[in-house]
Copies of this chain bind each other. A is one copy, B any other.
Amino acid sequence: MEVSYQRKVNFYETDAQGVVHHSNYPRYFEEARGFFLENIGFPYHRIREELNIDIVLIELSVKYKHPLFFGDIFNIETKFNVENRYFFYFEYQVVKNSEIVSTGRTRHCCIDRQTRKIVPIPDLLV
């Protein structure tokens, strides 16, 4: 399953090189993950509140091929993969005008919000 999230570059996301600062891509990915979870009917704030679970990000990688500029409209194509009972990851392609400008991957697990201990991936995500 792949979900596509559309976004426009805000001015405050640019830097003095005139392009989107690299630290915003993890934030774009977070938005795309949120959109993905909404699409499968379980928005993250419901996961937090109803299941008492925080989704924790434990690994992040990004490859930057081409820059994004202020005002650009781009899409993030997001895929979800289960690794095992505890770990899962998302893969992202940032696409502008049909060209892949960046790719990324984030690895996650779930923790109990009170104990902060790792718990199995909730069934609704598997």
Which residues on the B side are within 8 Å of A15 (C-beta)? 11-12, 14-16
Cross-chain contact B23 with A27 (CB below 8 angstroms): yes
Cross-chain contact A30 with B12 (CB below 8 angstroms): yes
Which residues on the B side are within 8 Å of A26 (C-beta)? 22-23, 26
Count how many chain A residues have C-beta atoms less than 8 Å from C-beta atoms of the other chain.
36
Cross-chain contact B64 with A62 (CB below 8 angstroms): no
Is A70's CB within 8 Å of the partner chain B?
yes
Number of identical monomers bound together in the oligomeric complex: 4
Is A59's CB within 8 Å of the partner chain B?
yes
Which residues on the B side are within 8 Å of A79 (C-beta)? none
Cross-chain contact A70 with B16 (CB below 8 angstroms): yes
Assembled-state Cα–Cα distance A24/B58 (Å): 14
